[in-house]
């Protein structure tokens, strides 16, 4: 790769960075084929920015992170001076493709570590550290799908660097703490509990927490004689729970793994190749996109098929049960209420990344704190709306 190609790639990436726009990948003539070429482009990006390099970030330090973005190891990205802010700064996510904020440990070096043939040991590196700082990174990518472009192109794009906020140096005896085990590594309830009590996160702990919650819910619902006496409640609960479980198995089991392996080598990559189960917010959008392009079969994914299956299954059940009927709005006011509710549901579902099924059922099955908070908000919102509607009915009466 010659200097002209390096400059062309860097100029393209820097332009997209300034405009908060995206490209699929770098053109073939200036696409890095190795990590070394990626770092050469990254250095040129920093040069074109006209900013000084104030530090470095290390991306994809865990095996899970590397698997997610399909790289073979950690990647370094330079931190540009205009993008490194002090604590208390406000950052806009407008135009940000990743929409995440990551809590980080930042190390301020007290002495340099010159380049040498022999790798530095962890003890040598830690001895060179002057202070530890809490920090927040707000990453971003200049690629439409950063999980598919590979390590060399991600390195060229400054390893998804964007904004970096650094706090004051901690006064705690941080050298006595195992930083690798500190904090919470996911939003699973088991991982949060492990982080709170200094335990090692594990599947066993998460399974134990899940079993206790399931037992508590089981006792709670079966205390109700009305629930126990309703065959529809028992059948509906069992069917929905098993459907979610089957969804996880289909997309995460042997069939799902074969699906991923096919996608790796497919000329046209299928939509949403990932472990998933039932939700209806995103699949409705995916279904509309497919209906607009019915010849593009790669747009048919698990969510689209699941949505079609629910509609078809409900229709068949209604015919068999002889309960099929057409309904309409009783008045213009009733239509307006449904329209407003639909808009609120659509916007809320997108912001919450799921609905009463995607978050309150499927999400809850993963013991994710985010899903629990979403479910709580749904219950509070529904209860408040019902009380308001009841109050209006009483006023009109």
Q: DSSP per residue over 42-100, as a string?
A: HHHHHHHHT--EEEEEEE--SHHHHHHHT-SS-EEEEEEGGGEEETT-----TT-SS--
pLDDT value, residue 389:
87
| Residue 32 to residue 155: CA distance in whole angstroms | 9
- 49 contacts 63 by C-beta, under 8 angstroms: no
Work out the number of other CB atoms within 10 angstroms of the CB of residue 240.
14
pLDDT value, residue 89:
94
Examine the pLDDT at 42 and tell me if it is beyond 80.
yes
pLDDT value, residue 132:
97
pLDDT value, residue 319:
93
pLDDT value, residue 263:
86
pLDDT value, residue 164:
96
Q: Exposed e or buried b for every residue in 165-183, given b needs 16+ CB within 10 A?
A: bbeeeeeeebeeeeeeeee
Average pLDDT (244-263) is: 92
- 258 contacts 250 by C-beta, under 8 angstroms: no
pLDDT value, residue 196:
77
CATH class for the region spanning 3-182: alpha beta
Q: Label residue 269 by pLDDT band (50, 70, 90).
A: confident
Average pLDDT (352-360) is: 89
Average pLDDT (327-342) is: 90
Average pLDDT (106-132) is: 94
| Residue 13 to residue 365: CA distance in whole angstroms | 40
Average pLDDT (238-256) is: 93
182-216 confidence digits (pLDDT tens): 777 778 888 888 877 777 778 888 899 999 999 99
| Residue 293 to residue 271: CA distance in whole angstroms | 13
Q: Label residue 245 by pLDDT band (50, 70, 90).
A: very high
Q: Label residue 143 by pLDDT band (50, 70, 90).
A: very high
Q: Exposed e or buried b for every residue in 48-83, given b needs 16+ CB within 10 A?
A: bbeeeeebebebbeeeeebeebebeeebebbbbeeb
Q: What three-state secondary structure class fits 213?
A: helix
Residue 235 to residues 126, 230, 305, 346: CA-CA distances in angstroms?
Answer: 59, 9, 23, 29
One DSSP character per residue, 281-323 reads HHHHHHHHHHHHSTT-GGG--HHHHHHHHHHHHHHHHHHHTT-
DSSP letter (8 states) at residue 137: E
HSE value, Cβ hemisphere, 13 Å, CA-based, for 333: 2
- Sequence-ordered list of residues with C-beta below 8 angstroms from that of 15, at least 6 positions apart, any chain: 21
Q: Label residue 379 by pLDDT band (50, 70, 90).
A: very high
Examine the pLDDT at 82 and tell me if it is beyond 90.
yes
pLDDT value, residue 250:
93
Beta-ladder partners of 108: 131
Q: What three-state secondary structure class fits 132?
A: strand
Domain boundaries, the chain: 3-182, 190-396
> How far is Cα of residue 266 from the mean position of the Cα atoms in its chain?
24
pLDDT value, residue 9:
97
Average pLDDT (257-264) is: 88
pLDDT value, residue 361:
93
Please give the span between the terminal C-alpha atoms of the chain, in angstroms, as a whole number: 79
220-236 confidence digits (pLDDT tens): 999 999 988 898 889 98
282-316 confidence digits (pLDDT tens): 899 999 999 999 989 899 999 999 999 999 999 99
| Residue 161 to residue 253: CA distance in whole angstroms | 34
pLDDT value, residue 184:
73
Average pLDDT (171-185) is: 82
Q: How open is the CA angle 121-40-43, to the nearest 5 degrees?
A: 85
For the chain, percent of residues with pLDDT exceeding 70: 99
Q: What is the pTM of this model?
A: 0.63
């Amino acid at each position: 790769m010659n200097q002209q190609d390096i400059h062309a790639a860097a100029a393209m990436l820097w332009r997209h960075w300034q405009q908060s726009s995206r490209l699929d990948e770098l053109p073939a003539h200036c696409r890095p084929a190795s990590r070394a070429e990626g770092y050469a482009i990254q250095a040129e990006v920093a040069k074109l920015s006209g900013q000084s390099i104030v530090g470095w970030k290390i991306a994809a330090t865990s095996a899970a992170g590397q698997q997610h973005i399909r790289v073979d190891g950690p990647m370094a990205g330079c931190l540009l001076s205009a993008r490194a802010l002090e604590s208390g700064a406000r950052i806009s996510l407008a135009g940000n493709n990743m929409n995440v904020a990551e809590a980080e440990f930042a190390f301020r070096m007290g002495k340099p570590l010159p380049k040498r043939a022999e790798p530095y040991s962890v003890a040598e590196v830690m001895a060179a550290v002057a202070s530890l700082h809490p920090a927040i990174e707000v990453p971003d990518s200049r690629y439409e799908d950063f999980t598919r472009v590979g390590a060399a192109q991600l390195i060229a794009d400054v390893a998804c660097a964007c904004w970096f906020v650094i706090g004051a140096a901690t006064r705690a005896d941080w050298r006595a703490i195992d930083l690798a085990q500190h904090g919470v590594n996911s939003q699973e309830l088991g991982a949060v509990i492990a982080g709170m009590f200094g335990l090692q996160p594990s599947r066993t702990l998460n399974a134990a927490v899940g079993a206790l919650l399931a037992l508590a819910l089981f006792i709670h619902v079966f205390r109700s004689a009305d629930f126990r006496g309703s065959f529809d409640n028992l059948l509906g609960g069992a069917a929905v729970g098993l459907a979610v479980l089957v969804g996880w198995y289909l997309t995460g089991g042997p069939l799902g793994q074969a699906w991923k392996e096919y996608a790796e080598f497919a000329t046209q990559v299928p939509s949403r190749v990932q472990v998933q189960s039932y939700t209806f917010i995103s699949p409705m959008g995916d279904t509309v996109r497919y209906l607009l392009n019915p010849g593009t079969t790669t747009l048919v994914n698990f969510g689209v098929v699941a949505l079609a299956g629910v509609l078809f299954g409900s229709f068949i059940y209604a015919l068999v049960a002889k309960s099929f009927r057409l309904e309409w709005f009783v008045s213009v006011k009733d239509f307006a209420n449904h329209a407003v509710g639909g808009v609120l549901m659509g916007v809320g579902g997108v912001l919450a990344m799921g609905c009463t099924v995607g978050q309150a059922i499927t999400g809850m099955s993963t013991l994710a704190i985010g899903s629990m908070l979403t479910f709580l908000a749904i219950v509070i919102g529904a209860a408040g709306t019902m009380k308001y509607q009841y109050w209006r009915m009483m006023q009109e009466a």
